[in-house]
Chains A and B, each alone.
Chain A
Amino acid sequence: MTEQNRHTASEMLAILSARQLKEGQVVFAGIGVPLLAATLAQRLRCPGLTILFEGGVIGAFVEPGKLPPSTNDQRCTKRANMVLGSAEVLLLLQRGYVDVGFMGGAQIDKYGNLNSSFIGDPEKPKTRLPGTGGGNDISSLTNMIVAMKHEKRRFVDQVDFITSPGFIRGGKSRAESGLPEGGMFRVITELAVFGFDETSRRMKVLALNPGITREQVQDNTGFDLIFDDQVSITEPPTEHELITLRMLDPDRLFIA
């Protein structure tokens, strides 16, 4: 059995994302893989990680097997340190209390802009998607980690609509738009881990997942990728990481 077959793509995303978080950080997490990854990091290496949810939760401690169906459900609050209003917890982002924002993505472009609003022309869309939720606020005000499936139709040259800003049009355009802080920090997929070039702000491959080639990553991406001078190979998920993750989500709500 090869490395890739031992775990699902979602499990890989959750484990690699969890590795990006550091002890002591304050993390604003979205539902799905981000919630799972933040919880996994808390259980494995970072007991002092503080998780915030947009429903108004500070210091979440999600129980294994009782994952909430959204970040606005009562399960998010159990054993948390504090419950606030939604606007209050979002204002903590604006004030700067949060180190890392962490969410999933539907469509991303070379500058790390995310689209969850429209496919096609916003005036006459082919598909009206759900919209931002907290995504626009999180990505405007924090350093972002995005975990998403790697497909050519999702990794596009330019998104149809910037729901959640990354580096907008590259260079200094994010700061010039009125967002001097934060931006895209990491994009995690089942193929690779990406950062962003410091000057052009274009997406850059930092590490390849085990068994994945540069060509495979490029072939599944709708724009030309930059490769870091020192592209590394990611350590495969350990048994301990996988077992802990599967205990958190025994019904495979988010890791199927």
Chain B
Amino acid sequence: MSVGRDTVQPYQKLRESLSRRDRSLREKVVTLEEAASFVSDGASVGIGGSTISRTPMAMIWQLIRARKKELSCSRCIISTDGDLLLGSGVSNHIISSWFAQGILWGLSKVMRHHVEGGAARYDEWSHMGMGMRFRAGAMGVPFMPMRSMLGSDVGRIRPEAKEFDCPYTGEKLLLAPALNPDVALIHVQRCDAYGNAQIDGLQFMDIDLAMAANRVILTTERIVSNNQIRRAPDQTKIPFFCVDAVVEVPYGSAPHECYGVYEPMMKHLDAYVAQVNGDPVGGMKKYLDEYVYGPKTWNDFLAMIGMDEIVTASRRGRSIFDD
């Protein structure tokens, strides 16, 4: 199998691209539409969150509306967001450890349609493999050594993962190559206008992803003052100088969950899965026309999900704090 666009970047190139970024403490608030211009056709895009949790859905929705092309998308575990990326033609390459609709719904017929037919690639790594790739990218080293993926076919079909004999112990190790996406899309509960981001609950691989990427677009449930950030700096998980754009998008992970704010919008997801798994081409086209290209704004999309769904998801989301 050929090596994709996710090849290891030379250290000097990494440093150069970082040195060109404006790392000053400045306001970076833009609209979803403006943020989409940070993503070029053919870019490698790292996606934050995991499965159906804290997915930057509004940003993905906007990239589809902007008719981006040939994105190479990496995420630790990818679900219906991956469907939309492939089904819309925005992406033809997914790098992940797991790609399905979600545990409750099983296989993705959309993924199967695109991958089995050869229209798109899905490069599988172990979950830790994805973590070590983002970690190496964040650390500014070309690889991280690890022990899983050895002996399995997951390692065998990934020529980018090299087996290596440890120079200290002689033990066999596997080297996971650094992944430094051109752009990372990360959704958080709150950040300030500079991009100091606080993440509640499950962090997944987002901190490494933010440090590894050459640009970061943050979407956030709400923008708070820098004073509020400074009152609890230990809660800040991504520093402002990693961030290039901040977009305030309430319910920006819908219909997925955002820890402590809302749980998944299950009725919408149930109906979505039934429609696209029933007809991965026609059903997907219908969904995109109706829910992605149809509404004028993200709030219009939320209105189509419906007040009952959103209130129920919000009540369940906040219940994490109830005893």
| Interface set of A (CB-CB < 8 Å, partner B) | 31-32, 54-57, 69-70, 72-78, 83-87, 90-91, 93-94, 117, 122-123, 125-137, 140-141, 161-165, 168, 173-174, 177-179, 253
**A90→B163 CA distance, assembly (Å):** 20
Check B264–A54 contact: CB distance below 8 A.
Answer: no
Chain B positions 227 through 270: 1 when the CB is less than 8 Å from some CB of chain A, otherwise 0: 00000000000000000000000000000010110011000000
Is there an interface contact between B148 and A136, defined as CB atoms closer than 8 Å? yes
- Interface centre among A31, A87, A162, by most B CB within 10 Å? A87
User: Could you pull out 27 A-B pairs where Cβ atoms are within 8 angstroms?
Assistant: A56-B204, A72-B204, A74-B201, A74-B260, A76-B202, A77-B320, A83-B203, A85-B208, A86-B50, A86-B202, A90-B128, A90-B131, A91-B128, A94-B146, A94-B147, A94-B148, A117-B153, A126-B116, A131-B97, A131-B98, A132-B124, A134-B127, A134-B128, A135-B126, A137-B148, A178-B171, A253-B104
In the complex, the answer to whether B115 meets A70 with C-beta atoms within 8 Å is no
**Are A165 and B111 in touch, CB under 8 angstroms?**
no
Nearest CB in chain B: distance from A11 CB, A: 19
Q: Scan B108-127; emit 1 where CB is below 8 A from any A CB, else 0.
A: 10011001100000101011
User: B116, B129, B153, B201: which contacts A83 (Cβ < 8 A)?
Assistant: B201
Q: Are B151 and A174 in contact (CB under 8 A)?
A: yes
Q: How near does chain B come to A65, taking the closest CB pair, in angstroms?
A: 12
Q: Which residues of B contact A69 (CB under 8 A)?
A: 52, 102-104, 264
Residues of A within 8 A of B207 (CB): 85
Give A163 to B111 CA distance when docked, in angstroms: 18
CB-CB contacts of B8-25 with A at 8 A, as 1s and 0s? 000000000000000000
Q: Is the CB of A125 within 8 A of B116?
A: yes
Instruction: List B264-323 residues whose CB lies under 8 Å from chain A.
Output: 264, 317, 320
Of the residues A86, A134, A163, A178, contact of B172 by C-beta under 8 Å: A178
Q: Is B174 an interface residue (CB 8 A)?
A: yes
B30 at the A interface (CB under 8 A): no
The answer, among B53, B132, B317, for a CB contact under 8 Å with A87, is B132
Q: Which of B111, B126, B172, B257 contacts A128 (CB 8 A)?
A: B111
Q: Mark B207-226, 1 if CB is under 8 A from A, else 0.
A: 11000000000000000000
A55 touches B98 (CB 8 A): no
CA of A129 to CA of B106, assembled, Å: 9
| Cα-based distance from A192 to B17 in the complex (angstroms) | 58
Other A-B pairs beyond A85-B203, A140-B152, 9, CB < 8 Å = A55-B50, A69-B52, A129-B107, A131-B122, A134-B97, A137-B127, A178-B172, A178-B174, A179-B147
How far, in angstroms, from A132 to B96 measured CA to CA in the complex?
A: 9
Q: Is the CB of B99 within 8 A of A87?
A: no
Q: Is B134's CB under 8 angstroms from A87's CB?
A: yes
Residue B178 is within 8 A (CB to CB) of chain A in the complex: no
Measured between alpha carbons, how far is A90 from B128 in the docked complex, in Å? 6
B153–A122 CB distance below 8 A: yes
Residue B157, interface by CB 8 Å: yes
Q: Is the pair A74, B202 in contact by a Cβ cutoff of 8 Å?
A: yes
Cβ-defined contact, B102 with A70, below 8 A: yes
* In the A-B complex, the 4 residue pairs with the closest CB atoms: A177-B151, A87-B131, A178-B172, A178-B150
Q: Does B60 contact A (CB under 8 A)?
A: no
Q: Are B202 and A77 in contact (CB under 8 A)?
A: yes
For B141, the chain A residues whose CB sits under 8 A away are none
Question: Are A130 and B98 also in contact (CB < 8 A) when A32-B103, A70-B51 are?
Answer: yes
Partner of B148, one of A73, A140, A162, A173: A140
B149 interfacial contact with A, CB 8 Å: yes
Q: Is A74 within 8 A of B317, CB to CB? A: yes
Docked CA distance A168–B152 (Å): 8
Q: Chain A: which residue is nearest B208 at the CB level?
A: A87
Residue of A nearest to B1 (CB): A123
Contact B205 A86 (CB under 8 A): yes
Most chain-B Cβ atoms within 10 A of its Cβ — which of A131, A137, A140?
A: A131
Pair A161/B153 contact, Cβ less than 8 Å:
yes
A168 cross-chain contacts in B, Cβ below 8 A? 151
Judging by beta carbons under 8 Å apart, are A132 and B98 in contact? yes
Q: Is the beta-carbon distance between B112 and A83 smaller than 8 angstroms?
A: no
Q: Choose from B116, B127, B150, B263 the contact partner of A132 (Cβ within 8 Å).
A: B127
Task: Establish whether residues B116 and A74, one from each chain, have CB atoms under 8 Å apart when the complex forms.
Answer: no
* Contact status of A165 and B50, CB under 8 A, knowing A31-B103, A72-B77, A132-B124: no
Given A74-B257, A129-B107, check contact A178 B128 (CB 8 Å).
Answer: no
Given the complex, which residues of A lie within 8 Å of B122, measured CB to CB? 128, 131
Give every chain A residue within 8 A of B126 (Cβ-Cβ): 132, 134-137, 140
A86 touching B150, Cβ below 8 Å: no
